[in-house]
Amino acid sequence: MSETMELEAPTRPIGVYTRPKGNTGWRDWVTTVDHKKIGILYGVTAMVFFVIGGFEALLIRLQLATPNGTVLGADTYNRVFTMHGVTMVFLVIMPLAAAFANYLLPLQIGARDVAFPRLNALSFWVFLAGGLFLNMAWIVGDAPDGGWFAYAPNTGMIFSPGKGMDYYALGLQITGIASLVSAMNLIVTVLNMRAPGMTLFKMPVFTWMILVVQFLLLFAVPVITVALFLLMFDRNFGANFFNPEMGADPLLWQHLFWIFGHPEVYILILPSFGIISEVIPTFSRKPLFGYPFMVFSGIAIGFMGWGVWAHHMFVSGIGPISVAAFSVSTMFIAVPTGVKILNWLATMWGGRIRFNTPMLFAFGVVSMFTIGGLSGVTHSVAPADTQQTDTYYIVAHFHYVIFGGALLGIFAGFYFWWPKCFGHLLGEKLGKWNFWLMIIGFNMTFGPMHILGLQGMSRRINSYSPGFGFDFWNMFASVGAFVIAVGVLLFVINVVASARKARTAPPVGLDPWDARSLEWFTPNPTPAHNFDEDIEVSSLDEFWHRKYGEDENGKVVRVATAEEVCQDGSATDTHLPSPSYWPIILAAGLPFVAFGLIYTLWFCVLGGTLIFMAIYGWIFEPVDDPDGPHGHHEGHGEDESGVDEATAETVEEAPVG
Amino acid sequence: MADTSAVSHGHGTGTGLSNNKLLMWVFLGSECLLFGGLISTYLIYRSRFADGPAPGDIFDIPFTSVSSFVLLMSSLTMVLALSALQRGDIRNNRVWLLTTAMLGSLFIGGQVYEFTTFMREGLGYSTSPFSSAFFTLTGFHGVHVSLGIVMLMSLLVSSLRGTLTKERSETVEIVGLYWHFVDVVWIFIFTVIYLVPSPTT
Amino acid sequence: MSTVIEAPAGEHEGEHDDHPTDRKYVEVAIVLGIVTALEVATYFVEMPGAVLIPMLMLMMVFKFFYVAAWFMHLRFDSPMFTKFFVTGLVLATIVYATMLTVFEFWHKG
Amino acid sequence: MILKSLRLERVIAPFIGGLLVLTGCAADAPLDTLDPKGPISRSIDSLADPIFLIAGLVFVIIFVASAMIWWKFRDDHSTDEFPHQVHGHFRAEIGWTIGPAVLMAVIAVFTLISHFDLNSEDRNDLVVNINGEGTSWDPEVVVVGQQWWWEFRYYFDGLDGVDLSDARNLPPADIVAANQLVIPTGSEIGLKIMSRDVIHSYWIPALNGKRDAVPGRVAPWKIEAETPGVYFGQCSEFCGLSHARMRMQTIAMDPVDFQVWVDQQMQPAAEPTDAAAMRGEAIFEGQCARCHVVNGINDGGGADLVSNAAPNLTHLMSRTTYAGGIFELYESDGSLNRPQLEAWLRNAPAEKPAYAEGRRGMPALGLSEDQIDDVVAYLLTLGASPAMDVIAATEVD
Ligand code: HEA
Ligand code: HEA
Ligand code: CUA
Ligand SMILES: [Cu+2]
């Protein structure tokens, strides 16, 4: 295969070497390299996984609603909560953050696209492949059952002889590739593609937080990669990394997992912090209070997140000195996080706040995350944690920070940027119902878990006996879970209903929220080429500052309307990266390799061939479709410094990670 | 694999640096944590050799020294290949690329020999935590070297087809970065795993 | 992370002029070869661990950074590259050293 | 409209309700973590309580501020002037960096003091009568977790000479008990926690926090009870299929009762005299002895199980629960809970999920009903029944 390619390449590209042209229908979505479309793909996929993960959560709650529940057997229950955790963390929150990062980050820095559009598409397809692969385990009837942190040796071949943990190890490995690739891509994008004048300290906080997250991913993903490899080698090739009988130490897994795992929780939360740092100033009609402190505290959280992993191991027997050290280091994470909370409050303080739905959700984050953060602080007190760990008190903590922090923030983002992506607003009325049902249901579900946990209810138990005082609050929590479900359902209805309404209603206009940052310079929805021309950035919140000035008394006065400030999206001569088939083909190869490792190596051959083909196709693919329209090279972005035909056709070779 | 041939020398990017090169460096930063994890695993397990041979029993330092030297010298040839291309000296570029790939292959050959010898001496992959960790660490490194060889050969093919010109020397530079990184990892492994005295039975 | 990103735009345009000559590269390689030979020599000489291990570490670190500086061009390339690499390196070192410490010294009790 | 009435106070109502319930919930919650029954757990509690309080205060501050923002600064459309544009305030930032940092530093100090105290050992030797001889015993018990039950091993000569390196092959002990750890009140008891298969976690909330049982490691831990009673626990590290059904109790007795218990446990099983029990013994030796040990009938040897051990049954009847502390052995009137025990012998995996075919957990042995009756008759001869108050205290309903 490669032979022929190599021979053909120097001549004019034909056949597969031309890039796909289709701009309509599903082909367009499959081959797109447009960061906006990829963002939407991420979002839709993650929401589908959210419904799956939420369905699993509802099963958990049904089982636990009454003592000695019989909805799920012990075996099924273990699979359900494992897949619930894995799905929610790796297939919902992370890709939702990626959705926002993809769609907004290039816009917020005034770029045409990300630095490597095809790699960007690759990230998405690899993520999808990993997610489907993981859930495939349900279909073969062998979903992983070792818990989301998969402690060895329970996940080894002796104690998990089924294929479930193989799906876990390989599935997460695949999604890890996706995260790593997209992290590298976005770092380069932020560093290299900013609009003229946009220094780092003129970047929106959302962009900043995404940047910090990409660094966390960059350095944390390889750690779990190692852990998962070791697990896989243990299971499939008879290695002895976690086999105590041969003298191995199971704590090795715990260290590796949590060295990844704790930065991971900040990977989950920081995007949401970024989102609400955009929403709160907009709706408070005030600039973000203490911008540099918001940036530095985010960076500080990113750094400190590396030094606290063993707080998940306070009772593992790592020794009193280690416990003491990690206990203290954990406590101080409360400081930069507190700076953020207080700065948001200070931003709102003295504002004139419009409580539209995005703002409601952002407000929800500030208060609900605080509850979760404070219970986190109570865990960091190691002696106290010996009573708390592995109880529902922990379950309460992390749902408060993840649901109350990360997820609510993401919903704030949905409502805030929906017009940016789709050209119409989500319904306010349904939105408010959505918010209130979610927040009430959420508190009903997870609030009582504090009590349950302190009353001694262990987590990961598929049933409990009456007489331990668990009955009432479990039922209460289960009812709450269904209230959340109704809330989520309203969101789905809102999406459909507002899209339908938008067909007849007038368009949303340029600046529905009186917003502040660069992405609002483009019309809604964003045109394919993003910006008509480069934006010269001279201040933070450039968009806002072009709309408003100050009079001599320091009062804010309008100097321009959004119509005057915005670009009209009419540029037609911009040169866009062409779509490509190869990312999806490459991604499709990975699950086959994984199947091969589980079942028969023949699948590996198949998958390997696909990957090999895709890499070569990728390399020999011309940068542009030679038959496609050629604009002149304007603006800045990957297409900037004139691509001559010769360069375009040559082998673009860079090492593959 | 990257799209940005256009910005080959980074003119017009925010930092003035090429996207591709930046990407490689970012990637190498990430690789530090990958190899760090594997090396730590090895260090934790080096004295847990169960009933099998201990590292101190079977390491053949003179042999490994030679192959380490080979890999080290391949870094020299790699940089010479780049420097040749930067001068527009296509012929020497090819020669050095080929030499680098050969030296890399020699190193891999040495590793294959080492592995088979160890196996014969009773150190299988499943023998002990030590053996698993040792083969995994050096195996990962070997896979990295092998990937590097594939990349070098692709460059060579590209050069023979006349497309690897002076203007595109950055591609060689990027492959070179990867190659040197793999070398640098071995410098670490050679000292910490082989030369620092290992436990014996 | 902030430290990583500060390189002002376009400052390192001149990078191609001061690339070392091939001769310099060969010299570097000779130095590396000699240090390697010294390293290997320690294997044949009896030495207490307290001397040997710091010595080996020193030579390793020297080789490591010598390769990075010359062959990987960190000496004359943009400092931003160095920052990325060193961030990864330092982070890996600290994190894994902590992990090893926990395993080796503090795990009792 | 309903939205208007859904104000903040409704949202936080569950918390206030929760706090109220928390304070009064101890009565029917045997695993309550806030109801210490010994000095160790009390010192955890007295560290945790102020921290809950501090957290609660911070919570109140943030929520009061939020509520004020909610009401004071909402846009009432009275003006369309922009509010005063504040970009930040350096001193405020420093304030709310230093403030929490100092607070956390204070918490850290108290945490460290308490932490090192909890990890210190402060055991006194006890005098126990072993075979009529007063022996000075450094009270330490070996606790071994396996899927899905606990074993407790007492070595009255102390653990110094005992090789604990291989949990699957521990040297013979003076007493081997399962699922119920019996301790004397008023003394700190050391535990050496280990595992024969996967990671478990030993946890009696009323007496101390938890500590993982990690295969290949020996984790020191300690408990102390002030008053006699039955204290409940639950394995709290996910350990596979029946993790939920891996419970345990600690029975604290005053030292006199403890001595009686020790005397009884040191006896090997007596040969049965009654015909049914004798038939039962034969079945036991044929069917059960490949896994279970009854001292005096069969000694030592590994069980045909992944963990290499099944509960020692020599004094089965002296326990109040079995099979991971989940089934009650006695009715509240002190008679045998026969249907449950028979069901267990008929088909154990149906009563408590296990991977019996994977040699984890007790298999269904295909005994006939007559055989079951005989085996029960035999089991009834194993050990003296516990005191009525212990039986009563084991019932959680
Ligand atoms: C979004 C994810 C997220 C976030 C942001 C956090 C944030 C924090 N977490 Fe959490 N955590 C998880 C997700 C998260 N966690 C998950 C998923 C688990 C369980 C994993 C598992 O076992 O399955 C877990 C478990 C977990 C444990 C282990 C518990 C155990 O298993 O025994 C600990 C222990 O220290 C902990 C602590 C903390 C702390 C101190 C913070 C801090 O960052 C919080 C800081 C925030 C505040 C403190 C609030 C705001 C601050 C102020 C208003 C200032 C004033 C406050 C003070 C001075 C106190 N977390
Ligand atoms: C990362 C994010 C995240 C999110 C958002 C959630 C959301 C929820 N979680 Fe999550 N949970 C975890 C992460 C998350 N969880 C993790 C990491 C664990 C640990 C796993 C482990 O121990 O290994 C865990 C464990 C966990 C447990 C403990 C299980 C145990 O220890 O035994 C429980 C118990 O109640 C629970 C409940 C819920 C509920 C009710 C929701 C709800 O908020 C869900 C709301 C969503 C919906 C309800 C979906 C809406 C669906 C529809 C509207 C359509 C309905 C569809 C059909 C009927 C087909 N979760
Ligand atoms: Cu044993 Cu959970
Ligand atoms: Cu954590």
Cβ-based neighbours of B50, under 8 Å, separated by 6 or more: A240, A246, A247, B127, B128, B129, B130
State whether residue B177 sits within 8 Å of chain C by CB: yes
Tell me if residue D274 falls in helix, strand or coil: coil
Touching partners of B (3+ C-beta pairs < 8 Å): A, C
Q: How much is the mean pLDDT over chain B?
A: 91
Looking at the structure, do residues C66 and C108 belong to the same domain, yes or no? no
What does the pLDDT read at residue B4? 38
ipTM, two decimals? 0.93
Mean pLDDT (whole number) for B93-120 = 96
Q: What is the pLDDT of residues B22-41, one digit of tens each?
A: 999 999 999 999 999 999 99
Share of chain A above pLDDT 90, in %: 79
Beta strands D247-253; D180-184: pairing state: parallel
Ligand 2 centroid to Cα of residue A73, in Å, is 18
- Is C26 found in the same domain as C67? yes
- Tens digits of per-residue pLDDT, D255-309? 999 999 999 999 999 899 999 999 999 999 999 999 999 998 887 778 889 999 9
Return the residue of D nearest to A64 by Cα: D244
Residue A342 alpha carbon, nearest atom of ligand 1: 53
C4 domain-assigned:
no
In this structure, the answer to whether residues C31 and C51 fall within a common structural domain is: yes
Q: What's the rounded Cα separation, in Å, for the pair A9 and A172?
A: 36
Residue A323 DSSP SS3: helix
Chain A partners (3+ C-beta pairs within 8 A): B, C, D
Q: Are residues C51 and C89 in the same domain?
A: no
- What would be the CATH architecture of the domain defined by B58-195? Up-down Bundle (1.20)
HSE-CB of A372 using CA atoms within 13 angstroms: 27
List the 208-237 stretch of A: residues with Cβ below 8 A of B. 218-223, 225-227, 229-230, 233-234, 237
Which residues touch B138 (CB under 8 Å, ≥6 apart)? B111, B115, B189, B193
How far apart (Å, rounded) are the C-alpha atoms in residues A368 and A377?
Answer: 15
Helix (H, G, I), strand (E, B) or coil at D193: strand
Q: Are A315 and A394 in contact (CB under 8 A)?
A: no
What is the per-residue pLDDT for D218?
A: 94
In a domain, C67, yes or no: yes
Distance A294 CA to ligand 1 centre (A): 19
**Using CA atoms, how far apart are residues D330 and D338, in angstroms rounded to an integer?**
8
Q: What are residue A341's phi and psi, to 5 degrees?
A: -55, -45
With a cut of 80, say whether residue D3 has pLDDT above it: no
Q: pLDDT for D159-199, tens place per residue?
A: 999 999 999 999 999 999 999 999 999 999 999 999 999 99
Give the C-alpha separation, A72 to A101, whole Å: 38
What are the beta bridge partners of residue D213? D200
Q: From CA A535, how far away is CA A533, in angstroms rounded?
A: 6
Mean pLDDT (whole number) for B52-58? 92
Q: What is the structure's pLDDT at A79?
A: 97
**Selected residue with higher pLDDT from B181 and A12:** B181
DSSP conformational letter for A313: G
The answer to whether the CB atoms of C2 and A296 lie below 8 A apart is yes
DSSP chain C: -GGGG-PPTTTTGGGGTTPPPHHHHHHHHHHHHHHHHHHHHHHHS---HHHHHHHHHHHHHHHHHHIIIIIT-TTTS-HHHHHHHHHHHHHHHHHHHHHHHHHHTS---
- Would you tell me which residues 148-207 of chain A have a C-beta closer than 8 angstroms to some C-beta of chain D? 151, 153-154, 158-161
Q: Quote the CA–CA distance of A124 and A130 in Å, as a whole number.
A: 10
**In this structure, are C61 and C81 located in the same domain?**
no
Q: Are D202 and D150 contacting, i.e. CB atoms less than 8 angstroms apart?
A: yes
| CB distance A54 to ligand 2 below 6 Å | yes
Q: How many Cα neighbours within 13 Å face the side chain of D227?
A: 5
What integer pLDDT is reported at residue C103 of this predicted model?
85
Q: Which residues pair with D248 in a beta bridge?
A: D233
Q: What is the pLDDT of residues D90-116, one digit of tens each?
A: 999 999 999 999 999 999 999 999 999
- Write the residue in B11, B31, B38 that is nearest to A641 by C-beta: B11
- Rounded Cα–Cα distance for residues A216 and A304 (Å): 11
> Is residue A244 a contact partner of residue D194, using CB atoms and an 8 Å limit?
no
What angle do the packed helices A94-108 and A205-237 form, to 10 degrees? 140
What's the predicted TM-score (pTM) here? 0.93
The separation between the first and the last C-alpha atoms of chain D, rounded to the nearest angstrom, is: 45
Portion of chain D with pLDDT greater than 70, in percent: 93
CA–CA separation, A393 and A386 (whole Å)? 12
Per residue in A549-577, pLDDT (tens digit) is 988 888 888 999 888 889 888 877 777 78
Distance CA D166, CA A394 (A): 33
Identify the nearest ligand to the CA of A341 by its number: 1
Least confident of C43-52, D2-11, D178-187: D2-11
Residues C30 and C70 in one domain: yes
Contact (CB<8Å) D55/A455: no
Ligand 2 contact, A55 CB (< 6 A): yes
Give me B62's structure tokens: 């003179």
Q: CA angle, corner A53, sides to A47 and A55, nearest 5? A: 105
C25 contact residues in B (CB cutoff 8 A)? 76, 79-80, 83
- Tell me: do C67 and C94 sit in the same domain: no
CA distance B118 to chain C (A): 20
User: pLDDT of D140-156, one tens digit each?
Assistant: 999 999 999 999 999 99
Atom of ligand 3 nearest to the CA of D200: 1
Query: Which numbered atom of ligand 2 lies nearest the CA of A403?
Result: 5
Q: Name the residue among A96, A84, A179 with its Cα closest to residue A130.
A: A179
pLDDT at residue D19, as a whole number = 56
Please give the pLDDT value at position A301. 96
Predicted confidence at residue A20, as pLDDT, reads 66
Q: Give the pLDDT confidence score for residue A45 in this predicted structure.
A: 97
Calpha distance A626→A641 (Å, rounded): 17
pLDDT at B10 exceeding the cut of 70: no
Q: How many domains does chain C have?
A: 2
In this structure, the answer to whether residues C68 and C27 fall within a common structural domain is yes
Return the minimum-mean-pLDDT range out of A317-331, A631-645, C88-102: A631-645
Does residue C30 lie in a domain region? yes
DSSP B117-154: HHHHTT--TTS-HHHHHHHHHHHHHHHHHHHHHHHHHH
Which residues in D lie closer than 8 A to residue A399 (C-beta atoms)? none
* In contact, A69 and A62? CB cutoff 8 Å: yes
Tell me if A130 sits within 8 A of A174, measured CB to CB.
Answer: yes
Mean predicted lDDT score pLDDT of chain A: 89
pLDDT of A645 reads 32
pLDDT category of residue D203 using cuts at 50, 70 and 90: very high
pLDDT for A47-85, tens place per residue? 999 999 999 999 999 999 999 999 999 999 999 999 999
From chain B residues 44-63, the ones with a CB under 8 A of any chain C CB are 44, 61-62
Q: What angle do CA B7, A122, A83 make, to 5 degrees?
A: 145
- CA-CA distance, A572 to D302, in Å (whole number)? 80
Q: How far apart are CA A532 and CA A515, in angstroms?
A: 19
Domain membership of residue C106 (yes or no) is yes
Instruction: Extract the runs of DSSP E, i.e. beta strands, from D254-363.
Output: 321-322, 327-328
| pLDDT computed for residue D27 by the predictor | 53
| Ligand 1 pocket, residue A373 CB under 6 Å | yes
Q: What is the pLDDT of residues A485-503, one digit of tens each?
A: 999 999 999 999 999 998 8
- Does some domain include residue C7? no
Contact in structure between B129 and A247 (CB atoms under 8 Å)? yes
Exposure of D74 by Cβ count < 10 A (0-12 exposed, 13-18 middle, 19+ buried)? middle
Q: Does residue C85 sit in the same domain as residue C99?
A: yes
Residue C9 within a domain: no
Q: Which of chain B's residues have a Cβ under 8 Å away from the Cβ of A239?
A: 125-126, 132, 136
Report helix angle B19-45 to C79-104, nearest 10.
20
3-state class (DSSP) for residue D318: helix
3-state SS, residue A575 = coil
For the ranges A20-24, C42-46, D228-232, D363-367, the lowest mean pLDDT is seen at A20-24
Which position has the token pair 């020398």? B9
- Alpha-carbon Rg of chain B, whole angstroms? 19
Q: Is the pLDDT of residue C45 over 90?
A: no
Would you say residue D1 has pLDDT above 50? Answer: no
Cα B135 from Cα A508, distance rounded (Å)? 61
- Cα-Cα-Cα-Cα torsion A631, A632, A635, A640, nearest 10 degrees, comes to 100
pLDDT tier, A623 (very low <50, low <70, confident <90, very high otherwise) = low
Is pLDDT at B12 greater than 70 in this prediction? Answer: no
Least-confidence region, from A308-322, A638-652, C17-31, D328-342: A638-652
A-C contacts at Cβ under 8 angstroms: 47
Q: Would you say residue A643 has pLDDT above 50?
A: no
Lowest mean pLDDT across A202-206, A604-608, D74-78, D220-224: D74-78
Lowest mean pLDDT among A317-321, A417-421, A596-600, B11-15: B11-15
Provide the percentage of residues in chain B whose pLDDT is more than 90. 84
Task: Give the residue whose CA is nearest to atom 1 of ligand 3.
Answer: D200
Predicted local distance difference test score (pLDDT) of residue A328 = 96
The rounded distance, in Å, linking the Cα atoms of B90 and B165 is: 7
Contact A452, A473 (CB under 8 A): yes
Task: Report the distance separating Cα A255 and Cα D189, nearest Å.
Answer: 30
Helix axes A334-348, A357-380, angle to 10 degrees: 150
Cα distance between residue D179 and residue D191, in whole Å: 14
Report CA(A145)–ligand 1 centroid distance (Å): 25
State whether C70 and C38 are in the same domain: yes
Pocket, ligand 3, Cβ cutoff 6 A? D 145, 148, 200, 235, 237-239, 243, 246
C83 and C109 co-located in one domain? yes
Q: Span A575-583, mean pLDDT?
A: 85
Closest CA to B139 of A601, A237, A84, A367: A237
Q: Give yes or no: residues C55 and C34 share one domain.
A: yes
- CA dist., res. D331 & res. D253, Å (int): 21
- Give the per-residue pLDDT at D15: 56
Do the domain assignments include residue C2? no
Query: Quick one: which atom of ligand 3 is closest to the CA of A460?
Result: 2
C16, B187: Cβ pair inside 8 Å? no
Q: Are D205 and D225 in contact (CB under 8 A)?
A: no
Place of tokens 């697990």: A231
CA angle A275, A280, A283 (to 5 degrees): 125
pLDDT band at C22 (very low <50, low <70, confident <90, very high): confident
CB A351 within 8 A of CB A284: yes
Domain holding C32, by residue range, is: 22-75
Nearest ligand to the C-alpha of residue A82? 2
C-alpha R_g of chain A: 25
Give CA–CA dist C41/D373, Å, rounded. 78
- Please write the tens of the pLDDT for every residue from D13-67: 445 545 555 544 445 789 999 999 999 999 999 999 999 999 999 999 999 999 9
Q: What is the mean pLDDT of residues A283-289?
A: 95
Quickly state the pLDDT bin for C1 (edges 50, 70, 90): very low
**Do the chains contact at C5 and A317, CB–CB below 8 Å?**
no
- Please indicate if any CB of chain C lies within 8 Å of the CB of A226: no
Q: Residue C94 falls within a domain, yes or no?
A: yes
* Strand D189-195 to D219-223 pairing: antiparallel
Amino acid at C79: P
Domain ranges of chain B: 58-195
Helices A205-237 and A164-192 sit at what angle, rounded to 10 degrees?
A: 150
Q: Give, rounded to a whole angstrom, the gap between the first and last alpha carbons of chain B.
A: 48
Mean pLDDT (chain D) is 90
In sequence order, the β-bridge partners of residue D234 are D247
Return d(Cα D58, Cα D69) in angstroms, integer. 16
User: A291-300: b or e for each residue (b if 16 or more CB lie within 10 Å)?
Assistant: bebbbbbbbb
Tokens linked to A127: 């993520």
